[in-house]
């Protein structure tokens, strides 16, 4: 058992990192770095390894998978990944190993904001509404353009000039034009 | 919040100890909780940005590294580049859709430097004027409406 040197470094470094966090020689540091989680950059705890060979703490990976449930990719190499596509790792120091995947969720799954929600930047004061707002500005003018162009172009039989219908339509398209102009003006000064 | 600070602490240590060429963290400009950084970038030799210096601002939310940081150019010199708007916003997919928690300040900096280095002609994006007028202050929000097709 003690002759099996190849399996030793994992145990030694994991032990060193958790029970002896003080300064160690450089070689030890590098060995420990090999067992760092690719997400928190700490020595992996409740470790799992993906099919593509990348190591994570299960809590870290789980949180990433929950962040983008529709697009579960390995953070390192973008290979497909998922709860049933990782293998838990049990070191010797763990007397009664339990699959880390059974221990979760460590936090309620209800608190998942959308990936692009930037609740973390309260300084800007933009909530979800901020996103809607900038989207609306981007798309709206084009909608107006198309509708006012259509009004003059795609009309099969324009009514006779001077007829009541004609005046009414002219009136309507003029309103649309003014709305568009006002909106553009507002855009410019906003 | 704690996990975000812990990770940023590690990144800061590694970056100051062993910085990549042309990338220098401005440690004086880092806020106390590590939520805001400024990184000085140098235009790579042999590229159109040789000899120029730029400042990249990072803002980290409490969900970092699961959420991407907010990254933009600040300061007097915004690189004249087809993917960099005059307000400092950068069109780079790893900053939004292609973000991964395995990326870091260092890898973002290196991506930005290589994006600059691959530039042949110094010019602004074609939609710069309209974009700068209509975009949100947060560059992370804006990619949606001009890259809708990739969603
Ligand atoms: Zn981890
Ligand atoms: Zn992988």
Q: Assign B37 to helix, strand or coil.
A: strand
Structure tokens that stand for A63 in this block: 């949180």
Nearby residues of B16 by Cβ (< 8 Å), 6 or more positions away: B25, B27
Percent with pLDDT over 90 in chain B: 83
Q: Count the helix, strand and coil residues of chain A and give each as a percent rounded to the nearest 5.
A: 50, 5, 40
Instruction: Give the confidence band of A176 by pLDDT, cuts at 50, 70, 90.
Output: confident
CB pairs under 8 A between A and B: 85
Nearby residues of B147 by Cβ (< 8 Å), 6 or more positions away: B91, B97
pTM of the model: 0.66
Q: How far is B53 from chain A (nearest CA, A)?
A: 27
Q: How many CB atoms lie within 10 A of CB A177?
A: 14
Give the closest of A39, A137, A188 to B101, CB-based: A39
Cβ of A124 within 8 Å of Cβ of B138? The answer is: yes
Instruction: Give the confidence band of B142 by pLDDT, cuts at 50, 70, 90.
Output: confident
Domains and CATH numbers, chain B: 2-141 (3.10.110.10)
User: In this predicted complex, what is the ipTM?
Assistant: 0.88
Active-site residues of B, by number, are 91
What mean pLDDT is predicted for residues B51-77?
97
Instruction: Determine the residue among A29, A136, A138, A141 to mutate to test chain B binding: the one whose Cβ has the most chain B Cβ atoms within 10 Å.
Output: A138
For tokens 């929950």, the residue is A66
Domain locations along chain A: 32-91+99-104
CA of A139 to the centre of ligand 1 (A): 41
Asked if residue A38 lies in contact with residue A83, where contact means CB atoms within 8 angstroms, the answer is no
Chain mean position to CA B124: 17
B142 contacts on A by Cβ (under 8 Å):
134
Helix (H) or strand (E) holding A32: helix A26-34
Asked if residue A34 lies in contact with residue A63, where contact means CB atoms within 8 angstroms, the answer is no
CA of B66 to the centre of ligand 2 (A): 16
B63 contacts on A by Cβ (under 8 Å):
67, 113, 119-120
Nearby residues of B55 by Cβ (< 8 Å), 6 or more positions away: B26, B38, B39, B40, B41, B73, B74, B75, B77
Cβ of B144 within 8 Å of Cβ of A131? The answer is: yes
Cβ of B142 within 8 Å of Cβ of A134? The answer is: yes
Asked if residue B88 lies in contact with residue B73, where contact means CB atoms within 8 angstroms, the answer is yes
Give the tens place of pLDDT for each residue, B76-113: 999 999 999 999 999 999 999 999 999 999 999 999 99
Give the closest of B59, B60, B135 to A134, CB-based: B135
Give the tens place of pLDDT for each residue, A36-53: 999 999 999 999 999 999
Per DSSP bridges, beta strands B23-25 and B53-59 are unpaired
Instruction: Give the confidence band of A160 by pLDDT, cuts at 50, 70, 90.
Output: low
For B3, nearest residue in chain A (alpha carbons): A40
Give the separation between CA A15 and CA A37, rounded to whole angstroms.
Answer: 15
Alpha helices, DSSP H only, in B102-138? 105-117, 128-134
Cβ of B141 within 8 Å of Cβ of A134? The answer is: yes
Per DSSP bridges, beta strands B36-42 and A55-57 are unpaired
Give the tens place of pLDDT for each residue, B56-66: 999 999 999 99
Nearby residues of A77 by Cβ (< 8 Å), 6 or more positions away: A52, A54
> What dotted CATH number matches A32-91+99-104?
3.30.40.10
pLDDT at A162: 57
Q: Is the pLDDT of residue A101 over 80?
A: yes
For tokens 């106390």, the residue is B32
CA of A140 to the centre of ligand 1 (A): 44
């Amino acid at each position: 058992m003690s002759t099996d040197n190849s399996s030793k470094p994992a145990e030694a470094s994991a032990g060193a990192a958790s029970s002896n966090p003080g300064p160690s020689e450089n070689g030890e540091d590098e060995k420990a770095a090999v067992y760092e989680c690719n997400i928190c950059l700490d020595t992996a705890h409740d470790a799992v390894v993906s099919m593509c060979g990348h190591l994570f703490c299960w809590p870290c990976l789980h949180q990433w998978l929950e962040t983008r449930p529709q697009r579960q990719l390995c953070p390192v190499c973008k290979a497909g990944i998922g709860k049933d596509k990782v293998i838990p790792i049990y070191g010797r120091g763990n007397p009664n190993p339990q699959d880390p995947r059974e221990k979760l969720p460590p936090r309620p799954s209800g608190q998942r904001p959308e990936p692009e929600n930037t609740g973390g930047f309260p300084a800007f004061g933009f909530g979800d509404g901020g996103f809607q707002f900038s989207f609306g500005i981007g798309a709206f003018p084009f909608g107006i353009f198309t509708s006012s162009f259509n009004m003059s172009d795609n009309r099969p039989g324009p009514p006779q000039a001077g007829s009541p219908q004609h005046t009414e339509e002219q009136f309507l398209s003029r309103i649309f034009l003014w709305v568009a102009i006002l909106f553009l003006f507002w855009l410019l000064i906003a | 919040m704690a996990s975000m600070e812990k990770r940023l602490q590690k990144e800061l240590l590694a970056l100051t100890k062993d910085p990549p060429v042309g990338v220098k963290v401005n440690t004086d400009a880092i806020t106390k909780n590590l939520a805001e950084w400024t990184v000085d970038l140098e235009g790579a030799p042999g590229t159109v940005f040789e000899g120029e210096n730029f400042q990249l601002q990072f803002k980290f939310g409490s969900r970092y590294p699961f959420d991407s940081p907010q990254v933009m150019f600040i300061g007097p010199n915004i690189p004249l580049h087809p993917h960099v708007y005059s307000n400092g916003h950068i069109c780079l997919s790893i900053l939004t859709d292609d973000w991964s928690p395995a990326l870091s300040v260092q890898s973002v900096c290196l991506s930005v430097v290589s994006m600059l280095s691959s530039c042949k002609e110094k010019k602004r994006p074609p939609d710069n004027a309209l974009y700068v007028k209509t975009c949100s202050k947060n560059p992370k929000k804006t990619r949606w409406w001009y890259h809708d097709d990739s969603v």
